[in-house]
Structures are given as C-alpha cells and as structure tokens.
Amino acid sequence: MNVTPLTLMVSLMACTPKHDSAPDISPQGLSYPVTKQVEQVDDYHGTKVSDPYRWLEDTDAEDTKAWVAAQNELTFKVLGAIPGRDAIRARMTALWDFERTSAPGRRGAVWFWTFNDGLMNQAQLMVGTGPYENGRVLIDPNTLSEDGTVALSGTFPSDDGKHLVYSLSKAGSDWQELRVRDVATGKDLPDLLQHIKFSEASWTKDGKGFFYSAYDPPKDPNDFEQANYYQKLYYHRLGEPQSADTLIYERADQPEWGFGGAVTQDGNTLVIPNWQGTEPKNRVFLKDLKTPNSPVVELIGEFDAYYSYIGNDGPLFYFSTDQGAPRGRVIAIDIQKPARANWKELIPQQAEPLESVSLVSNRFLVTRLKDAKSLVEVYDISGKKLSEVALPGLGSAGGFAGLREDKEVYYSFTSYMTPGAVYRYDVLNNTSTLVKAPTVSMDEAAYEVKQVFYPSKDGTKIPMFIVHKKGIALDGSNPTYLYGYGGFNIPLTPAYSTVNRVWLELGGVYAVANLRGGGEYGQEWHDAGRLANKQNVFDDFHAAAEYLIAEGYTSTPKLAIGGRSNGGLLVGAAITQRPELYGAALPGVGVLDMLRFHKFTIGWAWVSDYGSSDDPTQFQWLYAYSPLHNIKPGAAYPATLITTGDHDDRVVPGHSFKFAAALQAAQGGPEPILIRVDVNAGHGAGKPTAKSIEEWVDQWAFLVDQLGVTVPPDFGATP
C-alpha cells in the first residue's frame, strides 16, 4: 500500500441526487458515488454476459449527468488536496509558454503556416509573401469561442492561393463544418458545408470549387453516439448552397465505404481513394476531369493493400503501396494499361518501412522508419537512389511536402530533447538549413536518451526508448511512467513534450515501448498485434514493465503506466491482467468495452484491428481481454485515474464510465479508483492549451501522490 495524503484522506461524500442508497465506501476510505446496477444480460453465441452499467452509455440522460457530476466532485476534491499540485501547474504553464511554428507551404504566390505564441489555446493560421515573411493572421480560432474549444482542424488553399477552405471542430468533435475564406481580404464567403467527418477538400484547377466528403444529416442532431455510415463524395461550386452540390460518387450497397477526393496537380484527374474501416487497405477510383459528366472508373478494385497516390506524368501514376511488400514500395501504373501485370516497381521494399513519399523537383522524397526513428532518402524519377537527407539527429522528421516544380521544401524535426524546429531542404543540392527553432531552455546534457531491445513473452525483441536524468541510481527507486499504444499501424516516434519534461524534472523516468500492432516495422508488425494476435500487444507491455524492474530503473510501487484511445485499452487490459505488476495507471479515452465498441459512431471501423463480438470466434478473443469484462471482484487494482471527455464522439465516454463504475465496485485493494470527465471536450484533437495543461497537471499530481514523489517547494518557480 502506498501511504499518501490521498489514501489517508477522510471519507468524501459525493452522492448522485437520483439515488437514495448510501455511497459505496472504498477500502481506502473514499466514498464513491452510488452507481445503480440494472438487469441487463446479453447472449453472445450462447455465453451470457451481464452489463449492469449499460445505462451509463446514454451520455445525455439526467442520471448519467448526475453521476458524472458526482464523480468529478469526488475526483477534484481528492486531486485538490495533493501537495505540490499548484507547483506542478506553475511549472508546466511556464514551460509550455514558448513560440511554436509549423513548416510553411506555398500555393501560388501565397505562403501559409501556423503560429502559437505559447499559451494560445489554438494556433493561428498565418499567410505571407514568403516563408514567414510579411506574415499576417488569416484565421484566429481563439476568437471563435470563449473557452478555446473551437479548433481549426484543416486548411486547404486553392492552387492560386486566392481562396482557402478551412474546417472547424467544436469541443473536440470529429464532426466539422467547412467554410471558405478570401485570402486577400480575410473575409469569409457565404459558403457553409456541414455534416463533414473524415474529409479533406481538394480544389479544381480553375479555383471554382472543390471536392469533399460528407454524411447525410443525422436523424437526431443531439445524438453524437450514433453510428456513421454511407459517406458520399461531392463537388461544391463557390457561391452555391450545399443542397446544390453535385454528388460525385456513393455506394448505397456499401454502408461502410468511405471516399476521398484528390485532384492531380495537372488538374486532369480526380483520384478517389476508397476505404473501409481503419485497416490500411484501400481501393482507388478515377474520374476524368477533362471530360464533362465522365464516369467514376475503377483503377484498383481490391482491398488487398494500401495505395497512396504520389503524383503522375500524364497517364503514368505513381503510388506507394504495401502490395506484395509489407514494408512498402513505390510503383508506377499506366492508367491506359492498368492490368497488374503492367505495373512497374520503381523503389523496392527495404528493411525500413515507408512512412511517406512526396514528389518534388522531379525527385521522390521517401521517409522511412529505422527502429522507430526517421530516415529520409532521395530517389530520381526512375527509382535510382541519389542520397540521404542529413537529419539534425535521431528523432522524427515530418513534412517534405511541396509542388512538383518546387526546388526546396520545408520539414520539421523533433526529438525527446528538442521541440519541433523547421528546416529548409534544397532538393537538388541535398542541403538542410535551420529556419525556425523554438527557444527552450533545457540542459540536454543533463539527460540521457537510450533505446533498448527487450524480449517479449514469445521471445520477440521489442524496442523501447528510455529517458531520464543522467546519473540516476538503478536501485528500483525511480518513479517511472511507461507509455504505449500498439495498434492501427501507428508508430510511436521520438518527440519533445512539455508534459514529459515536467515529469523528467520531477526525477521521473519516461519510457516508450514500441509494441506490436503499431507501425514501427510495417504491416507484419501491425498484423502481429491485431485480431487473434492482440494479446501479443499486452504481453509486450507486461514485458516492458518487467524489463524496467529487472534492470533497476523502477519497482512496482514506483511504476505507472499510461496510454490514450487504443492505448487506453492497453492500460485497461494491463491492469486487469496483471494488477500486481503496476503501481498506478492512467487510461485515457480508452476503448474498454470490447463487446460493444462497434455500435457507436465510427467504432465499426475498428473491427479490422479488433474483430467483432458479432462473430463467434472473434467474440472469444475479445471477451478474453476486454478490460470491462475481466475485472474481478475483490482483486487489488493499482491506483487508477481514468480520463475522458463528456462528448467524445470517437471513443464514446460510456467506455470509461462503465469501466470506472465496475472498477470502483470491484476494488478490493487500498488504492483509489477515480475518473476525471472533461466537460465540453472530445477525444483530444483540438483540445485547448488551457484544458491540456489542467488535465496533465491532475494526472502528474495523481502519480506524484501515488508513487511517493516529493515536489520541491520551489518547483513551480524553477527558471
């Protein structure tokens, strides 16, 4: 048991007004809000599964709102009593306050980039006559809401740079609305498009309109949890109402199909990627824009791999793909002779998986991952390797996007020690020049970053980054935060974080495990951690914890784990499978009910990674590790702070609500089980700076309390 101010606190009353029962008294002395149970039993292929907290899925019900209010009251009373919380807030706010600028991009004679002065809730969109030259604010999302919860989620300038489509998201929602701004005047046109989700905008060459994707208006506009099906591709002409938009493509027989639309740089063709779910596999359709009323035709008609359009020379189209190459390759397809037998390989598969490919100055700029760190190569148009880009260090590079005729591109680079800096890359001369670097006072020499490879349960070597102050004693005494994700082909790569810097300054160790299921080593690595192989992800994470303990970095009472979304599932599975291994847990916006996730919003799209309880075999996989369904009454669970947003329309908050209620009821150990529900918030994208700071202050305060970390009295005043 960790003896902390929290666990010694007197009982706190926080009852929901709808229920007359006495509060549940926890072993640690906390009085949890009453959570009623209902008689709900589902039959999954002959297996009866109880779901007593089903009512918490109805986020807008009065009972649920009262429960959330009561849980928040308890949680904030507990967190508010933790010594050092104010100092952590002061230090995090001070460290967050530095200028941040994105890499610039050009359309016509206009350059676009984003800027945040440090503590702005949302970054501004800037325009100028050159990269960072004569800049002025084109869009300031901070003026669109009092609390900073309206975010600029996408920007799409026309080819001549005269107009800009921009998308806005409210309270972290995936739902967006599109507007059009005149770049010269800074004024909006009357155009307003709604019911947009998972869509970009691509202009026709004449600048008269753009393609976008949308769903039908929801039957109940207040029901943000309903499933999303039947996305459609449209063309919008400037000045016309959305009701007059031209339907380009739909499939009434395929409710799960979604469509993008990208106009080729020559303006002659619309490339239409066709996706189904989150598995990185898609089909590709084409529409001839030179011929009025031309049909949409099939170029690639199977969901057998991913195909990402790079560029084209007339009828010769270039794609990056993992078709026949699980770590990716670049191919050329003559759309006049599209049979697979005629496809030509330009850049073959390498040991390092492809992340992205762009075509600039007649060169392919290829970004790869080498043990979860960026590697950038340059190839000529025939596929001959010309050079590698000398990056500033071992970290993550992003960008390298530009127009075909550009001679230079801009990219950003970050590492665990350095925040994102912007570099100019001269494509023909293969030279990089630093353009913008944030001013952050951090003594890099005082810290150590290493990458280790540890064995998982089945012997597979898993990479892990470990960051800490130099000279720490490997005696098991260091408070450690282990982070992971392990899903959807998404890699975790080095990046600077103010949040993590605060943890390091408190004497903490920060570890990132590159688990199977992610994208660190291509599709094979992804496949090894999904569907029937999902348990490998959890085994990899357990093994990471065991490695950190065995090597003396930490010990169970000093070890916390965290993850968000699919990473929240990871943390939930970790503490329900191995509760004795971990000292504290921070599951954020997690997928925690693996039997019902596919019934809400876009959850059905995750079946490609998880499987579905509708299938008898897949039900068995899911039921075996679903965090909600593997909570054991009376078990001693580690201290847990669950976080979610009250209107998360990606992973609906019912996951976290039900998990918190069940874990509170089952807890047989002395540690607290709390849930922090962010009001007027979603899954995380576009979260205002102020909300992000408060959320992480609370999470670090919770870990400081539970892991026995001493916050120096002058910590918040540290220069």
Residues taking part in catalysis: 565, 648, 683
DSSP 309-335: EEEEETTEEEEEE-TT-TT-EEEEEET
C-alpha to C-alpha distance for 101 and 438, rounded to whole angstroms: 8
Shortest CA distance to 652 belongs to which of 228, 280, 231? 228
Cα 457 to Cα 413, 416, 461, 484: the distances in Å are: 34, 28, 10, 17
Longest alpha-carbon distance in the chain? 76
* Helices of type H across 578-629: 607-610, 616-625
DSSP class of residue 557 equals: G
Amino acid 295 reads P
Q: Please tell me whether residue 79 adopts helix, strand or coil conformation.
A: helix
CA 419 to chain centre: 19
Contact status, residue 603 vs residue 519, Cβ threshold 8 Å: no
Shortest CA distance to 563 belongs to which of 545, 535, 589? 589
Contact status, residue 695 vs residue 492, Cβ threshold 8 Å: no
Query: Where does residue 444 rank: exposed (0-12), middle (13-18), buried (19+ CB within 10 A)?
Result: exposed
Shortest CA distance to 347 belongs to which of 364, 323, 370, 326? 364
Shortest CA distance to 397 belongs to which of 424, 371, 415? 415
Contact status, residue 29 vs residue 7, Cβ threshold 8 Å: yes
The secondary element (H helix, E strand) that includes residue 31 is: strand 31-32
CA 151 to chain centre: 16
Q: Count H helices, E strands: the chain?
A: 10, 42
Shortest CA distance to 127 belongs to which of 168, 93, 157, 172? 157
C-alpha to C-alpha distance for 148 and 171, rounded to whole angstroms: 9
